[in-house]
Chains A and B, each alone.
Chain A
């Protein structure tokens, strides 16, 4: 992975840049010493590290606007950063760019129960939104596994999902409004507390844009009344095919569970040894199916789903008898990544999505490739929506293993695209999958995407080096190619 080479001219101006920022940013919000910069050198994708030019931690939107305007005027690059939990290197610093940390914008601005929404600053954690409203019986639906730490601003940037998004949608489906600052310092408001404003859906394009279009300073999200009952069913199967068939039958029967997760043998064993969740250790695959709603609905669906799972050949079915047991079933799944971390010195988490019915074939080919690379792999799968997380086990201290793991990972993602899926379901492209973008998109597709970037950030100062494998200058992208200027097909039928 190669990042754009740092601009020595900018690095040479470092002291001047710090001085200029000090004119409108309090000294304690600017980090310039190496020991202070060190914690910012990477995000959740720890294989890549770089010390930022400097780190600035603004306290409010006004300061952000002034920082961006200054950088715009003086040609300095910016890398926005929430909690730094990205698994794709979205917040990886650049040696010639300011890392703009949004951790100080951490207030919930308004809770509006009458319109069922919360207005929050971008540095508020995902979980803190639910915590602010749960006493009144509400919650914020998208729940990425990192929800304790990840911020709502980062969730918008990455369009984060979670285990409940089959039924409740991703971040983009739960957003009502955004306030953001463009690279030139200008503030724009998108949406608000109302739905479907007219005009182009700028909020939709900003969501999942990985910090390349602007800096979010305020987010309005929908909150939902919490379902009165939630119950989890734990099922074991002799094969992932059988588990996959069970998932298809549940959906085929018209049931959309709140969550539907699959784990393979290696992941089951790792998780069970870690948290003793009661997983059947003789199973090749387990499913956790969560049903929520009024108790009458949950009772009814529990019977139906149990019946379907038996028909699909489940060797083990257990329905949680209380909240404690439901959370225990989930504890194993939620701890799957750290659990795998205990059985291997390092692991590399992948994030492709596939059409669900291709799962058996994809798992088989992953297993074959694992043998070829001489590496282990554990699979965790958001079964309802086809989002697959293979965890590749490797040891970074063994020469060549990191490179092998990366090559194996790239092969898995290409496989996902080959079977009709996509490179990333929820972790983002970042730097990690940047060079694979051409397996999914043509040059023409990617150039149109970059023109969107140019519309927001014509000098391409925001988070450069991420998402796009090739950088084109905006002027070059804007050029229009007309062939000849003559009507090429005068004989086409015209009615």
Chain B
């Protein structure tokens, strides 16, 4: 068991990293640890937990800004926002159940991994909502970037580098982000569709109409059955789901307009407030795969390529899938057992389509044998490595979590 640091002050964190730097001790950086099982497996001697950096430090609803310490539980932030009818518009997802973790995720962990929910297509990703970060780099230096205002082009936007860096560049201590009003009303139109191709067309027509759609997903008949929303589970059909949110008169009007567009694709039902909330939570949290074993992949692709990619994969691999982001996000579960979790088939199928496949759920053995993140072209990989070195020259922060290096048994 490795030792765990739980620094309470930034100066303590600077010292821990400074010491690790001097002694070349690799550190595992953790929020709550709910997404610890995502990434290449690491060997680290010590853990640094940010849970003591907790609490909201600034919240000005009328300025649409909230700042919190990195280890603040998301629940605490959502509770504070709720009191003023606001939200994190990128719709943070909770992959804990799917990953087999009961830990309550922190805002630092959410930003470090850049997972965004169904509303991503309308409101942007986690990356689009981070305004400022204070962090300690792998050099043991405390730096800050950005600020508390949305409009800011002063210097390089290091927020973007922090988001999605899985703790490999710097350890965030404080984050400031943009918050937005939550919608007064939400409604979801369910269309019973023939197949995934019909669903792609239905989603495209909805997203291409000026109805400001904030969710567009496709679930096969089999996957629909797993929903806790009875309208969905009892539909006994594959469904395309389209969400609209906003003020009451606006939602009514857009709902009418969309139904006219969608009626040609199949029978229509509507989900209102609670059912709609529940449904999109399931889509975002990958709930359909919670009680199912097997490797889970997350594939980001151009919506028009989704079907072809999935077909190619299923020619060689037993899988199931559902689509979010209008087809731009494929959640795929590999049903059969493969030593590489199906990595070869999946990445081959993506080739030429410009997508990215990330292995999200797999045991440590599989994760140690395949690249968890999409392998990059040489130029991009070199540049990424140089950026990593600029922040963390000795590679002590989450070493190897994002980079695959074949072990001796795989080397030629």
Q: Which residues of B contact A66 (CB under 8 A)?
A: none
Residues of B within 8 A of A482 (CB): 18, 21-22
Cβ of A485 within 8 Å of any chain B Cβ, yes or no, is yes
A159: Cβ under 8 A from any B Cβ: yes
Within 8 A of A (CB), among B363-400: 373-374, 376-377, 379-380, 383-384, 386-391, 393-394
Contact A200 B157 (CB under 8 A): no
Query: Is B291 interfacial (CB 8 A cutoff)?
Result: no
CB contact list, A177-217 vs B, under 8 A = 182, 186-190, 192-205, 207-209
- In contact, A385 and B150 (Cβ under 8 angstroms): yes
Whether A182 pairs with B379 at a CB distance below 8 angstroms is yes
Cβ of A423 and Cβ of B149 under 8 Å apart? no
Nearest CB on A from B28, distance (A)? 14
Which residue of the partner chain, among B3, B145, B153, contacts A158 with CB atoms under 8 Å?
B153
CA distance A442 to B65 in the complex (A): 24
Determine the distance from Cα of A202 to Cα of B356 in the docked complex, in whole angstroms: 15
- B interface SS class: mixed
Q: Mark B56-85, 1 if CB is under 8 A from A, else 0.
A: 000011111100000000000000000001
Asked if B156 and A293 sit within 8 Å, CB to CB, the answer is no
Contact A424 B152 (CB under 8 A): yes
Known: A173-B124, A256-B180, A489-B19. A444 touches B300 (CB 8 A): no
Q: What per-residue 1/0 map shows which CB atoms of A292-323 lie under 8 Å from chain B?
A: 01111101110000000000000000000000
- Cα–Cα, bound, A256→B62 (Å): 11
CB of A434, distance to nearest CB on chain B (Å) = 10
Chain B residues with Cβ under 8 A from A158's Cβ?
153
- Counting CB contacts under 8 A, is A75 at the interface? no
Stretch at the interface among B205-213, B264-272, B310-318, B337-345: B205-213
Q: What is the size category of the interface that chain A forms with chain B? A: 35 or more
The answer to whether B153 touches A159, judged by C-beta atoms less than 8 angstroms apart, is: yes
> B325 near A: Cβ within 8 Å?
yes
Q: A484 interface residue, CB < 8 Å from B?
A: yes
Choose, from A23-31, A34-42, A221-229, the stretch at the interface.
A221-229
A355 in the interface (beta carbon within 8 A): yes
How far apart sit A385 and B250, CA to CA, in the bound complex (Å)? 24
Interface 1/0 per residue, A468-495 and B, CB below 8 Å: 0000000000101111111111001111
Q: Does any Cβ of A come within 8 Å of B246's Cβ?
A: yes
A296 touching B151 in the complex, CB below 8 Å, given contacts A115-B303, A188-B383, A225-B208: no
| A330: interface (CB < 8 Å) | no
CB of B333 within 8 A of chain A? no
A172 to B382: give the CA distance in the assembly, Å. Answer: 23
Chain A residue numbers with a CB within 8 Å of B4 are: 494-495
Q: Determine if B383 and A455 form an interchain contact, defined as CB atoms under 8 angstroms apart.
A: yes
Question: Quick check: A445 and B143 within 8 Å, CB to CB?
Answer: yes
CA distance A182 to B384 in the complex (A): 13
Chain B residue at minimal CB-CB distance from A177: B354
* Interface residue stretch chosen among B99-107, B159-167, B230-238, B274-282: B159-167
Distance between Cα atoms of A485 and B19 in the complex (Å)? 7
Select B153's contact among A182, A197, A293, A425, beta carbons within 8 Å: A425
- Residue in contact with A493 in the complex, picked from B6, B184, B246, CB distance below 8 Å: B6
Whether A198 contacts B164 by the Cβ 8 Å rule is: yes
Complex Cα spacing A382 to B181, Å: 19
**Inter-subunit contact A196/B125 (CB<8 Å):** yes
Q: Is the CB of A204 within 8 A of B161?
A: yes
Interface flag for A137 (CB, 8 Å): yes
Closest B-chain residue to A445, C-beta based? B143
Give the residue name and chain of the B residue nearest to A189 (CB). Answer: B377
Q: Point out which of B180, B302, B325 has the most chain A C-beta atoms below 10 A from its C-beta.
A: B302
B304 proximal to A (CB < 8 A): yes
Cβ-based interface call for B114 (8 A): yes
Task: Say how far A163's CB is from chain B's closest CB, in angstroms.
Answer: 11
Instruction: Check: B221 CB closer than 8 A to any chain A CB.
Output: no
Q: Which residue of A lies closest to B21 (CB)?
A: A482
Instruction: Tell whether, in the assembled complex, residue A386 and residue B149 are in contact, meaning their CB atoms are under 8 Å apart.
Output: yes
Interface residues of A in 355-391 (CB under 8 A from B): 355-357, 382, 385-387
Instruction: List 19 A-B pairs, Cβ < 8 Å.
Output: A165-B150, A187-B379, A188-B379, A190-B380, A194-B302, A196-B114, A198-B374, A200-B387, A204-B161, A225-B208, A251-B64, A256-B181, A299-B249, A357-B63, A422-B154, A444-B143, A445-B145, A488-B18, A494-B5
B: residues with CB less than 8 A from A are 3-7, 12, 15-16, 18-19, 21-23, 46, 60-65, 85-86, 114, 116, 120-121, 124-125, 127-128, 137, 139, 141-145, 147-161, 163-165, 169, 180-182, 184, 204, 207-212, 246-250, 252-254, 257, 300-304, 325, 328-329, 354-356, 358, 373-374, 376-377, 379-380, 383-384, 386-391, 393-394, 402
Instruction: Across the A-B interface, give the 7 residue pairs with the lowest CB-CB distance, nearest first.
Output: A204-B160, A297-B250, A254-B181, A193-B302, A451-B390, A425-B151, A455-B386
